[in-house]
A = this chain, B = another copy of it.
Amino acid sequence: MTVTEQPPAGVGAAYHEIQQFYARQMQLLDDGRVDEWAATFAPQGVFAANAHPEPTKGREAIAAAAGAAHGQLAAAGIRRRHWLGMVAVDGQDGQDGQDGTKARARCYALVFEIPRGGQAALRLSTLCEDELERGPQGWLVTHRAVTRDDLV
């Protein structure tokens, strides 16, 4: 029986940063602030999902996709709340000689929907696998893969 691997000590310092990055990122998405949402991805960042035929690439496309989805929901009187949780971070600090910091995160994401005047409900459960990079302004997602549990 193997011992569970745990991250090296230095990586722990980034953990609360990434937790809070995710909190802000989800709030931007749910509030329809789609340019700021897209700016949490690297300029050439990728958003891939098993529910989409093709990955979305770059901030402009990521903002456009989020804007379209948010507009449809708003027109239907529905608010979405994305919850990320069970966040596990693996750091790759110092592995590539860059002055930034890279990390990988694997977490769960739930999507709740709340119709105006109606009952809040769980809509989706997903797995979210991120590659992250820390630049001068903070963390950015360079690659995200979202896997809907119901489609696996």
Residues on A close to B: CB < 8 A?
1-4, 6-7, 12, 15-17, 19-28, 35-36, 38-40, 59, 63, 79, 81-89, 106-108, 110, 112, 114-125, 137-139, 149-152
Complex: A2 Cα to B152 Cα, angstroms = 36
Give 6 pairs: A residue, B residue, CB < 8 Å, sorted on A: A1-B63, A4-B36, A6-B21, A20-B87, A20-B89, A23-B107
A58 CB → nearest B CB, Å: 11
Tell me whether B86 and A149 are in contact (CB under 8 A). Answer: no
Tell me whether B83 and A84 are in contact (CB under 8 A). Answer: no
CB nearest to A63 among chain B residues = B1
How many copies the complex holds: the figure is: 3
Tell me whether B85 and A85 are in contact (CB under 8 A). Answer: yes
Complex: A9 Cα to B89 Cα, angstroms = 19
Tell me whether B152 and A23 are in contact (CB under 8 A). Answer: no
Complex: A15 Cα to B15 Cα, angstroms = 11
Tell me whether B122 and A120 are in contact (CB under 8 A). Answer: yes
Residues of B within 8 A of A38 (CB): 1
Tell me whether A152 and B120 are in contact (CB under 8 A). Answer: no
Given A4-B39, A15-B19, A27 and B152 contact (CB-CB distance below 8 Å):
no
Residues of B within 8 A of A24 (CB): 4, 6, 88
Residues of B within 8 A of A124 (CB): 120
Interface residue from B23, B26, B88 paired with A23 (Cβ < 8 Å):
B88
Residues of B within 8 A of A82 (CB): 86
